[in-house]
Structure 1
């Protein structure tokens, strides 16, 4: 059975993401460690479009973690920045792209965009 992270990368990450800033561009490589093996996923972002391939090619940002960490991110149970602070994942390269990764993985169920809270949707 494929992990949550692999299913998410295969089914939901590739394609257009209008929530990404139009100026976002770059390449990310996700290294999913599982035991003694590493699976490489390469993401290319340009003009709100994301291409996903399997490649160990160099990227502007390389994110390494155990598959379980990526699974938790794919399930919305772990924010990439929190994982970095806990040393659950390591990054090398352009850290600006790490925040982009958060937009490509779901948030916790029931979460709201904090910008919506300031638009009169729950005031006193």
Structure 2
């Protein structure tokens, strides 16, 4: 899935995977050649409102469109992309923990507690 499609499909309905007490704004800057597409996400009450805006945000995340496409498809993780310098950040880094919950994880990902309960020793 492409990042633009993923972001357009984000609904403002309550998302229980997002923290109840966290509020803030994110701007995602998707670079593609000489063009930058700006997506603005507002988090409040476990809801995300998505618009297209270059307005300043609490956390600004920049990267190539290809990286955001991988995030939207669950083929990479936000933290991994940051550690590989594929994404650059400016602003409130605490919001990065919340942003990682917006994008899907890899299809074969398992929650550590679930794996421990099943006795799944795979690494």
Residue correspondences, number:
121
Deviation at 1:123, TM superposition (A): 6.5
Within a 5 Å distance, the mapping from 1:1-124 to structure 2 comes to 4-12=2-10, 14-118=12-116, 120-122=117-119
Aligned CA distance change for structure 1 residues 13 and 121 (closer, same or farther; 3 Å): farther
Aligned CA distance change for structure 1 residues 67 and 13 (closer, same or farther; 3 Å): farther
Deviation at 1:88, TM superposition (A): 0.4
- Equivalent-residue separation in structure 2 for 1:14 and 1:91 (angstroms): 24
The CA RMSD measured in Å over matched residues stands at 1.7
State the TM-score, normalized to the length of structure 2: 0.91
Deviation at 1:12, TM superposition (A): 3.0
CA contact (8 A) 2:10 2:48 kept: no
State the TM-score, normalized to the length of structure 1: 0.90
CA contact (8 A) 1:24 1:47 kept: yes
Deviation at 1:94, TM superposition (A): 0.6
CA contact (8 A) 1:13 1:104 kept: no
- Equivalent-residue separation in structure 2 for 1:70 and 1:78 (angstroms): 9
- Equivalent-residue separation in structure 1 for 2:88 and 2:68 (angstroms): 12
For each residue in 1:23-82, what CA deviation from the matched residue of structure 2 results, as whole angstroms up to 9, or x when unmatched? 111000000001101000000001101100000011000000000000001111111111
What are the ranges of 5 or more consecutive residues in structure 1 without an aligned counterpart?
none
Deviation at 1:14, TM superposition (A): 4.1
